[in-house]
Amino acid sequence: MPLISRWTDQWLLSQVQKGIGVAPVRLAVKGGPSVARAGVAPVATVVIQDSKTLRKLVQDPEVNFGDAYTDGRVEVEGDLVRFLEVVYEAMESSAASGRWYSRLASQWLDFWQDNTLRGSRNNIHRHYDLGNDFYKLWLDDRMLYTCAYFPTPSSSLEEAQVAKMDHVCRKLRLQTGETVVEAGCGWGAFALHMAREYGVKVKAFNVSHEQIVFARERARDEGLSQQVEFIEDDYRNISGKFDVFASVGMLEHVGVHHYEELSRIIHRSIGDSGRGLLHFIGKNYPSMFSRWIRKQIFPGAYTPSLKEALTILEPLNYSVNDVENLRLHYAKTLEHWLERFERTKHQIAAMYDVRFVRAWRLYLAGSLAAFRCGNLQLFQVLFTGSRCQPIFWTRDPLYAGAKPAPEKAKWMHAMS
Amino acid sequence: MPLISRWTDQWLLSQVQKGIGVAPVRLAVKGGPSVARAGVAPVATVVIQDSKTLRKLVQDPEVNFGDAYTDGRVEVEGDLVRFLEVVYEAMESSAASGRWYSRLASQWLDFWQDNTLRGSRNNIHRHYDLGNDFYKLWLDDRMLYTCAYFPTPSSSLEEAQVAKMDHVCRKLRLQTGETVVEAGCGWGAFALHMAREYGVKVKAFNVSHEQIVFARERARDEGLSQQVEFIEDDYRNISGKFDVFASVGMLEHVGVHHYEELSRIIHRSIGDSGRGLLHFIGKNYPSMFSRWIRKQIFPGAYTPSLKEALTILEPLNYSVNDVENLRLHYAKTLEHWLERFERTKHQIAAMYDVRFVRAWRLYLAGSLAAFRCGNLQLFQVLFTGSRCQPIFWTRDPLYAGAKPAPEKAKWMHAMS
C-alpha cells in the first residue's frame, strides 16, 4: 500500500473513530493501518475491506455500516452485540448536545416516510411476509414476534411468551364473554390465547396476508373460529364496539403523524367505558430509529417516547393506570431469537442468501444491544376510559396468586 | 316574594343549572323557586340564601360557590361528596367541547401565579403553616399529608401511610448506606422512615418553617439527627450528589413553568446513574385546578397531566420504569381525613372559625369527589438515569415477599 494511501486511510479511520466517541473499539483497514482508543482493551476489531468502503463509512456511517456489513465488506471480529453496545453508549453520550438535530431529522424522516393505508401495507409486506417458514426457524413455537415476559431470567422463551400473554390479560382483567379488538395481531397467537384461556371474543386486525392466512388456519385447527375473527385490514378500518382495545407491537408501525387517527379509532372502539393496553418499543426521548433499519429492515417504523405515545390517550380524557418498562425482557427475548437464528443460519442462507443472514444478524444483534444499554425501551401502557369501572385496587392480582400459565395448547400439537 | 323576583330567580336558577349539565341536583332559593332535572331523584338540594348570592353564582360559579358555601350563604342538603361527584361528572361531559378554553385559562392562570422562590414560600406558608395542632387533629399519627396506600380498602389510615412509605422505598430499592434527597418533606415522616427502616442518609428540603421545626424535633427524639438533615429551603437550592431523588406531593406546588428548572435540579442531584420517584396529583389532560381552591386553599398549585410531568424527565434521557395510578387510594385517604375532620370540627372552629371549617370541608369533600370520579389522578413515576444499574427484573419484589410494615416507631410514643 503506497504511503499516501496509508496516510489517507489513517486519517479516514480517525474520522470514523470520532463518530463513535470513546467506544473501546479497534478499527482497521484490511492489510492497512488501524486505530484504537489508547489505554483500553478493545471489545472488538472492525475490519474494513478496502479504502472505498472506508470512505463510505465516513460519508454516512449510519446507513453504510449496515450495508457494508451485509455485503461482507466489513467484518466485526469479536462479540458483535458487545461491540454494538459500546458504540451505542458512546454515541449516546456524544448525541446529548446534538439532540435538536436528532429531533429535527426524526421529524423530517417521519414526514417523508409513508404510513398511509397503502404505504403501511407495503411496509408490513416487506417485513412480515418474508415467509412463515423463515420466522418458524427462530421464533418460539407459538410464533410471537414481540417482547416476552420472563418470570425469571432463566425461563424458556416458550414459557416467557405465554407469561407475557397472561401478564397482559391480567392487566386488562379480561372476563369471560367480553369483546376485544386487537390491532396488529401477528400470526394470531395472542388473539387465540385470549379467546382460549379467558373466554373472550376477539376481532383481530393485520395487513400482513401471510400472517392472517396462518392465523385463520390456527383458529380452525383449534376450533376457535367462532370466537376469533381474523381480519386482513388496516387498524384504521376497525369498526364495531368492544370492551377492550389491545395492541401488542403495532404502534411502532403507525408513525407519529397518525397518532391522532389511532386515538380516534380507539375511542370509536371502546368509548369512555372501555379499557386498553398499548405494548410498544419506545425511547427515552424523541429520536429517529436507525436509518439503516428503516431502509433495510423496517420501512415506516417509528419508536416514540412515552410522552409522545401519551398524545394518543390525553385527548380522550383516558386515565393511564399502569406503565411498565420491560426493556430487559426484550433484551432477553432477543438473546433467544439471535441464538436460534445463528443455529439455523445455513437453512436461512439456503432460503435467501448470505447477505440476508448478515443483515438480519446485524438487526437482531443491534436491537439486543439497544435494549441492553437503554437506547430502546419497551412500554406497556394500561389505560381506561373516563367512565370505566372498576379499576385495580392494587397490582397484587398481577403477582400473588396470579393464574398459572396454561398448559401447552392443543393447536400446537395440531401444527407440528 | 314579588312575582317578578320569583321569575328572575327562576331564570337565574336555570342558568346555574345549565352550567352543571345533567347532574341530578335540586337548586332552590330559600323561600323561593327551585329547579331540578326531571325524571331523576336529586342526590342533594342546594339551598341558596338569597337572590344576591344566586346572581353571584351565575356570574362566576367556580369561585363564588366556594365562597358562598364558606359564608353559609349556600347550604348543601344531602351528601356533600356525592353532590360534588355528580356535578364534576356532569361538568366533565360538558367540558369536552370547551377544553381549548380550559387549557388557555390554565396557562394564563399559571403564568399569573407566582411560583418563584419568594412566591412559593408565601404559597406554602399560607397552607402548611396553619398550625401543626390543626393538622394533628385529622391526619394519621405520623402526620403524612399525601395519598396513602391501602393494602386492602379496610386497612386503617395509619397502616396505609406506612404501607405507602414502604411501597415507595421498595420501588426505589433503597439500600443501606445510600444517600437520598427529598424535595418537599412535609413534617418529616417519610425522611425518618427511610433512614430508620432502610438505613439511608437523607437530606430533606421544605420551605414551611413550622413543618421543618417539627421534623427536626422528631429527628432528635428518634436519635436520627445524624442520618436525616432537615433543611428549610426551596427545592431549587438543593445541592450535593445523591443516589436517589424522592419527592412525594411537592410537584403540585412547582408550577408547570418551573419544570425545566426542576429537571436541572434532579440531574444535578443524581446525574445519569441515579434513580428517583415523583409522587403527585395529576390529571388526564392539562386543565386548571379549581380557581376557588387556588384562591382560598392552595395558592400556586398546578396538577399536571402525566404527559406534562414527563417534560421533566425526557430532556435528561431518563427512563420511566414504572407508573402507578393510585387515585382510588387518594379517595380512600380523603375519606379518612374528612371523617376525622368532621369528628374534630368543633375544636377546629374554636381554633379558627366556622367559616374556616366550612371552607376546609368543601376542599376535602371536593378532592374526595374528584379522585372518586377520576377528575384527579395520583401518579407515582419511577425513573432511572441512563447509566443506572441495575433495574427491576419484574415488579414481583414490590408484592410477593415484600418487607412487612415496620412496627410502630419509637418517636410516636415520644410524641404522645
Q: Are residues A285 and B317, on separate chains, in Cβ contact within 8 Å?
A: yes
The reply to whether A106 falls in a domain is no
Tell me, yes or no, if A272 comes closer than 8 A to chain B by beta carbon: no
Place of cell 420511566: B320
With beta carbons less than 8 A apart as the criterion, state whether B274 and B264 touch.
no
B306 and B386 in a single domain? The answer is yes
Sequence-ordered alpha helix ranges (H) in B20-98 = 51-59, 61-71, 80-95
Closest to B284 measured CA to CA, from A377, A316, A108, A194: A316
CA–CA gap between residue B330 and residue B148 (Å, rounded): 7
Pairs across A and B, CB distance < 8 A: 100
- Least Cα separation, residue A209 to chain B (angstroms): 35
Helix (H) / strand (E) containing A276: strand A275-282
* Contact of A364 with A334, CB cutoff 8 Å: yes
d(CA B85, CA A211): 48
> Cβ distance A270 to A242 under 8 Å?
yes
pLDDT at A268: 97
Chain position carrying cell 394564563:
B108
**Residues B77 and B44 sit within 8 Å (Cβ to Cβ):** yes
End-to-end CA distance of chain A: 57
- Domain annotation covers residue A245: yes
CA distance A399 to chain B (A): 6
What CATH number is given to the structural domain containing A372?
Answer: 3.40.50.150
What the block records as the C-alpha cell of A244 is 377492550
Q: Is B351 exposed, middle or buried (0-12, 13-18, 19+ CB in 10 A)?
A: middle
Of the ranges A284-293, A358-367, B53-62, the best mean pLDDT one: A358-367
Cell of A174: 379480561
Residues B261 and B331 in one domain: yes
Span A167-178, pLDDT tens digits = 999 999 999 999
Return the C-alpha cell found at B4: 317578578
> What pLDDT does residue A388 have?
80
Put simply, the answer to whether B327 touches A319 (Cβ < 8 Å) is yes
The total of other beta-carbon atoms located within 10 Å of residue B371's CB is: 25
Q: What is the DSSP string of A123-151?
A: HHHHHHTS-HHHHHHHS-TT---S----S
Question: Same domain, yes or no, for A54 and A123?
Answer: no
Residue identified by cell 369561585 is: B63
Q: CB distance A394–B320 less than 8 Å?
A: no
pLDDT tens-digit readout, A305-333: 999 999 999 999 999 999 999 999 999 99
How is residue B44 written as a grid cell?
Answer: 342533594
Cell 404502534, residue located: A251
Q: Are the C-beta atoms of B242 and B274 separated by less than 8 Å?
A: yes
From B96, B307, B311, residue closest to A314, measured CB to CB: B307
Q: DSSP character for A253?
A: G
| Cα A107 to Cα A63, A91, A287, A311, distances in angstroms | 18, 20, 8, 16
Q: Taking a C-beta distance cutoff of 8 angstroms, is the pair A149, A213 a contact?
A: no
Q: What sign for the dihedral angle of Cα B404, B405, B408, B412?
A: positive
Same domain, B81 and B167: no
Strand partners, A29: A48
CA distances from B314 to A103, A310, A404, B382 (A): 12, 13, 37, 13
Task: For residue B139, give the nearest of B338, B409, B298, B330 by alpha carbon.
Answer: B338
The tens digit of pLDDT for each residue in B229-264 reads 999 999 999 999 999 999 999 999 999 999 999 999
Grid cell in block for residue B404? 412487612
Residue at a domain's end among A97, A130, A154: A97
Q: B213 and B341, same structural domain?
A: yes
Alpha-carbon distance of A250 to A206, in angstroms, equals 9
In a shared domain, residues A124 and A92: no
pLDDT in tens, A29-83: 999 999 998 889 999 999 999 999 999 999 888 889 999 999 999 999 999 999 9
Please give the single-letter amino acid code of residue B292: W
Task: Give the torsion through C-alpha atoms of A21, A22, A24, A30, to 10 deg.
Answer: 30
CB contact burial B296-318 (16+ within 10 A = b; e otherwise)? bbbbbbbbbbbbbbbebbbbbbb
* Same domain, yes or no: B195 and B224: yes
Amino acid at A333: T
Please tell me which of the candidates A319, A324, A391 has its beta carbon nearest to residue B322: A324
Q: How far is CA A364 from each of CA A35, A281, A353, rounded to the nearest angstrom?
A: 27, 14, 17
Residue B342 lies in a domain: yes
B227 contacts B182 by C-beta, under 8 angstroms: no
**Inter-chain CB proximity B320 and A322 less than 8 Å:** no
Which band of pLDDT confidence, cut at 50, 70 and 90, is reported for residue A90? confident
Nearest-CB residue to A317 (from B284, B315, B328): B284
**What residues of chain A lie within 8 A of the CB of B286, using their CB?**
314
Contact with chain B for residue A130, Cβ under 8 A: no
Q: Looking at residue A19, what is its pLDDT?
A: 83
> Long-range contacts: B18-25, Cβ < 8 Å, 24+?
B19/B61, B19/B91, B20/B87, B20/B90, B20/B91, B21/B90, B21/B91, B21/B93, B21/B94, B22/B90, B22/B93, B23/B86, B23/B87, B23/B89, B23/B90, B23/B91, B24/B86, B25/B83, B25/B86, B25/B87
Residues of A in contact with B92 (CB under 8 A): 317, 386
Q: What percent of chain A clears pLDDT 70, i.e. is strictly above it? A: 91
Judge whether A309 lies within some domain: yes
Q: Which of A41-45, A103-107, A366-370, B21-25 has the lowest mean pLDDT?
A: A103-107
If asked whether residues A19 and A142 sit together in one domain, one would say: no
C-alpha cell, A58: 465516513
Residues facing residue A47 across a β-bridge: A28, A75
Query: B383 and B275: one domain?
Result: yes
Q: Is A103 among the domain residues?
A: no
User: What pLDDT score does A125 carry?
Assistant: 78
CB atoms near residue B226 (< 10 Å)? 9
Bond from prior residue into B390 cis (ω within 30 degrees of 0)? yes
Contact A307 B305 (CB under 8 A): no
Supply the range of the domain harboring residue A127. 117-415
Cell, residue B304:
399536571
* Rounded Cα distance, B259 and B266, in Å: 10
What's the confidence (pLDDT) of residue A400?
Answer: 66
User: Which helix (H) or strand (E) segment is B217 a member of?
Assistant: helix B209-222
Q: How many domains does chain B have?
A: 2
DSSP A184: S
Neighbouring-strand partners of residue B378 = B281
pLDDT bracket for residue A94 (50, 70, 90): low
Q: Residues A182, A191: contact at Cβ < 8 Å? A: yes
Q: Do A75 and A158 reside in the same domain of the chain?
A: no
SS3 state of residue A97: coil
CA angle B262, B267, B269 (to 5 degrees): 95
The predicted structure's pLDDT at residue B363: 96
Exposed e or buried b for every residue in B83-118, given b needs 16+ CB within 10 A? Answer: bbbbbbbbbbbebeeeeeeeeeebeeebeebebeee
- Where chain B has pLDDT below 70, the residues are 93-113, 400-416
A399 shares a domain with A349: yes
Q: Cβ separation of A153 and B393 shorter than 8 Å?
A: yes
For residue B244, the cross-strand partners are: B180, B275
Coil, strand or helix at B260: helix
| Nearest beta carbon to residue A318 from set B284, B317, B318 | B284
> Is B393's Cβ below 8 Å from some Cβ in A?
yes
Of A150, A325, A400, nearest to B400 by CB-CB distance is A400
Minimal Cβ distance to B310: which of A306, A322, A327: A306
Three-state DSSP state, A174: coil
Give the closest of A318, A328, A399 to B396, CB-based.
A399
Of the candidates A350, A360, A333, A9, the residue with the CA atom closest to the CA atom of residue A163 = A333
How far apart are alpha carbons A254 and A261 in whole angstroms? 10
Instruction: Give the mean pLDDT of chain A.
Output: 90
Same domain, A70 and A138: no
The last residue of one of the domains, among B96, B130, B153, is B96
Task: Check if A59 contacts B (Cβ < 8 Å).
Answer: no
In a domain, B126, yes or no: yes
Q: How far is A69 from chain B (nearest CA, A)?
A: 28
- CA dist B249 and B187 (Å) reads 12
| A210 domain residue, yes or no | yes
In a domain, B104, yes or no: no
For residue B14, what is the domain's CATH number? Answer: 3.30.1050
CA distance B359 to B346: 14
Q: Select from A68, A97, A126 the last residue of a domain.
A: A97
Task: Collect all residues of chain B within an 8 Å Cβ-Cβ radius of residue A323.
Answer: 320, 322-323
| Cβ contact B307–A305 (<8 Å) | no
